[in-house]
Structure 1
Amino acid sequence: MSAAASTPDRRARLGALCVVVALAVTGLLAGTLVQLVVTSILRAFAPPDALRLAVAQSGFALALAFTALGYVVVTRRPLTYFDVRLDKRGALWAGGGLLAMFGVLAATGVLAGALGVGNATHGTVAAIRETPWLGLLLVPVSLLFVGPGEELLMRNVVQKRLYSAFSRRGALFVASVVFTLVHLPAYATPGAGALALGVTLARLCCVALVLGVVYERTDSVVAAALAHGGYDAVQFGALFVASV
Structure 2
Amino acid sequence: MSDRQAQLRAVGIGILLVVGAYLIGQIVVTATALTLVAAGIPVLDQPTLLLGVSVVMLQGVTFGGVALGYLWYRGDGLDFIKARVPSKRELAITLGGFAALLGVQVSISLTLARLGIQSAQNTIVDIGNQNPIVFLLLIPASFLLIGPGEELLNRGLVQGLLRKQFQPMGAIILTSILFAFVHVFSLQGQGKLVYLGIVFVLSLILGTTYEYTDNLAVPALIHGAYNATLFGLQYLNATGGM
Q: What TM-score results when the alignment is normalised by the length of structure 1?
A: 0.91
Counterpart of 1:205 (choices 200, 205, 222) is: 200
Deviations 1:191-234 (A, max 9, x none): x22xx212111111011001001111111111110000111111
Is contact 1:42–1:52 with CA below 8 Å preserved after alignment? no
The one-letter code of the counterpart of 1:220 is N
**1:51 Cα shift?**
4.2
Partner of 1:216: 211
Is contact 1:38–1:56 with CA below 8 Å preserved after alignment? no
Is contact 1:50–1:137 with CA below 8 Å preserved after alignment? no
**Structure 1 stretch displaced more, 44-53 or 114-123:** 44-53
List, as ranges, runs of 4+ consecutive aligned residues in structure 1 with deviation greater than 6 Å: none
Partner of 2:22: 28
| 2:183 equivalent to 1:183 | yes
Which runs of 5 or more residues in structure 2 are unaligned? none
SS in structure 2 of the partner of residue 161 of structure 1: helix
Q: Distance in 2 between matches of 1:96 and 1:30?
A: 34
1:224-243 maps to which residues of 2 (within 5 A)? Answer: 224-243=219-238
**1:49 Cα shift?**
4.8
**1:46 Cα shift?**
4.1
CA change 1:41–1:133 in 2 (3 A) is farther
Q: Distance in 2 between matches of 1:223 and 1:58?
A: 21
**1:53 Cα shift?**
2.0
Q: Distance in 2 between matches of 1:79 and 1:153?
A: 13
SS in structure 2 of the partner of residue 183 of structure 1: helix
Q: What TM-score results when the alignment is normalised by the length of structure 2?
A: 0.91
Q: Distance in 1 between matches of 2:174 and 2:107?
A: 23
Which runs of 5 or more residues in structure 1 are unaligned? 1-6
**Structure 1 stretch displaced more, 58-67 or 78-87:** 78-87
Is contact 1:135–1:239 with CA below 8 Å preserved after alignment? yes
Is contact 2:24–2:62 with CA below 8 Å preserved after alignment? yes
1:1-244 maps to which residues of 2 (within 5 A)? Answer: 8-43=2-37, 44-46=40-42, 49-61=47-59, 62-85=61-84, 86-187=86-187, 189=188, 192-193=189-190, 196-244=191-239
Is contact 1:98–1:231 with CA below 8 Å preserved after alignment? yes
Q: Distance in 1 between matches of 2:97 and 2:36?
A: 36
Is contact 2:47–2:127 with CA below 8 Å preserved after alignment? no
Cα RMSD (Å): 1.5
Q: Distance in 2 between matches of 1:162 and 1:27?
A: 17
How many residues in Structure 1 have an aligned counterpart in Structure 2? 233
Is contact 1:136–1:240 with CA below 8 Å preserved after alignment? yes
